[in-house]
Every structure is written in structure tokens, then in C-alpha cells.
Amino acid sequence: MAFTSFGGTLPLDDNDTLYYHMANDGTDLDRYHQLRILSAVWSAWEYHLWPFRFIHTEDINKADHLTFWAKDDIITFRDGRQVESDFKFLKNPGVLAVQFSAPSGSMILNDNYDYSLDAKGPNSFDLEKVMKHELGHYMGLGHSKAPSEIMGASYDENATLTEDSIIGVQTRQAKRLQIAATNNPAAKRFTKHFVMGVIDKPKRKRSCLQRLGLKR
């Protein structure tokens, strides 16, 4: 397996639920499509981590994870307020987005690039692939060397969520999945089938970095 580990512990509540929020909007797609993509990406990771639940909330104060868009290193909220981005894209050319580590991490997308639903065009990037990569970091994964893997260090229009990252994220979250199974009898079958097969795999060295991103 080529996956590596990154970050801390997911801030799940007592019901194994995590809430996410999109704090502002990018310029290339309307808010409806941005939220639809963000929800699809969270659901893709949730599918492999059942019984965890990842739920969208419009209440920023309730959210455990925040997604921001930064234009020229400035984050502009819908009410017009502006703050400086914690990550300086202008000093790090070529970075599409960054994800700070759990539990309190946030995703910041570089709005100086063009994003679309299908990435058609020489200078366009598939927003779903970029978001899925960054959330993979939040789930505890570092960069992978596996070919055409969504967790690769550089953007790949053909990248997909492969078995390497699925096993990786289940390994990273194995202990919490076992706890969730004791609180949810319906999850025991899942735990036996998916978790027990990976929990005994050798531990991998955790990255000392506090953030990881995706380069174009």
C-alpha cells in the first residue's frame, strides 16, 4: 500500500457525527453547485467510514469543518467582510488548495484558478477532485504514490478514490470505528468486514506537517 498518514483526530460528537459548512463562495460556480459538490465529496468519504455521519449545516458556529475560498489571499464573506487567508497562495504558486489538519482544520481553495464540474478546458480544474483530495487529508491521509490516486501530490484529471486510500482511511479511523460499533449494533458487521482486516497492519509514520495541499 502507498498511503501515508497526516493530521489529528476527527472531531466527531457522541453520535459519531461531524458538521461541515461552506463559509463563502467561489467565483466560478454558483453556491448551489458548490454545495452540491461539497456534499457529494463528504458523502464519498462517509460511504467508507460508516457509521460516521458527515452533515452539512448553514450555522457556522455549529460546524466542525469549514471550507473557504481565497482570492488574492483574501477571503470575502457573503456579507462583504474580508479577512486575510491563513495560507498565502501568492507566495506558494501552483497550489490549488490546502487542508489544515484535524480536529480544527479548515480547507482553503485558491480562487485564482478556474474550477468547473467537468474540468473541460486546458486551464480548468475539476472542483470535486480537488475537494475530495483535501478532505482526504482531513480524514487522516497524506499524499500517496499510487498511480491515478486521488491523494496524489499533484492534480490528475484521471485520479479516482482507489482501494489504497479506502484502506488507508479505514486504518486511520479504525479505533474510532470500533468504538462506534459498540454503540451501534448494526455497525458490527461493517466493523468485522472492513476494520478488522486493516487494524493489524503496521503503523505508518505520521507527517509532522500541519497542512497539506494539492499542486496543479
What CATH number corresponds to the domain at position 159?
3.40.390.10
Residue 11 inside a domain? The answer is no
Q: For residue 162, report the phi and psi dihedrals to the nearest 5 degrees.
A: -100, 175
Residue 22 inside a domain? The answer is yes
Quick: pLDDT tens for 54-99: 999 999 999 999 999 999 999 999 899 999 999 999 999 999 999 9
Residue 97 inside a domain? The answer is yes
Residue 90 inside a domain? The answer is yes
Reduced to 3 states (helix: H, G, I; strand: E, B; else coil), residue 166 is helix
Distance separating alpha carbons of residues 56 and 35, to the nearest angstrom:
9
Give the pLDDT of residue 181. 66
Residue 6 inside a domain? The answer is no
Residue 7 inside a domain? The answer is no
Q: Cell triple for residue 78?
A: 457573503
Quick: pLDDT tens for 3-55: 888 878 999 999 999 999 999 999 999 999 999 999 999 999 999 998 999 99
Q: Cell triple for residue 193?
A: 468486514
Domain of residue 112: give its range.
17-201
What is the amino acid identity at position 79?
D
For the segment 136-146, the average pLDDT, to the nearest whole number, is 93
CB-CB contact of 63 with 99 (8 Å): no
Residue 127 inside a domain? The answer is yes
Q: Number of folded domains in the chain?
A: 1
Residues forming beta bridges with residue 5, ordered by sequence position: 141, 206
Give the pLDDT of residue 2. 75
Quick: pLDDT tens for 172-197: 998 888 877 666 655 444 444 433 33
In the 8-state DSSP scheme, what is residue 150? Answer: T
C-alpha distances in Å from residue 16, one per residue of 45, 55, 170 = 14, 11, 15
Q: Cell triple for residue 61?
A: 458556529
User: Residue 44 CA to chain centroid, in angstroms?
Assistant: 10
Average pLDDT taken over every residue of the chain? 85
Residues whose CB falls within 8 Å of the CB of residue 62, separated by 6 or more in sequence, listed in order? 19, 21
137: left (phi over 0), alpha (psi -120 to 50) or beta: alpha
Residue 215 inside a domain? The answer is no
Dump strand ranges (E) for the chain: 17-22, 53-56, 65-70, 74-76, 82-84, 95-100, 106-110, 114-116, 124-126, 211-215
Report field, pTM of the whole predicted structure over 0.75? yes
Number of Cβ within 10 Å of residue 203's Cβ equals 7
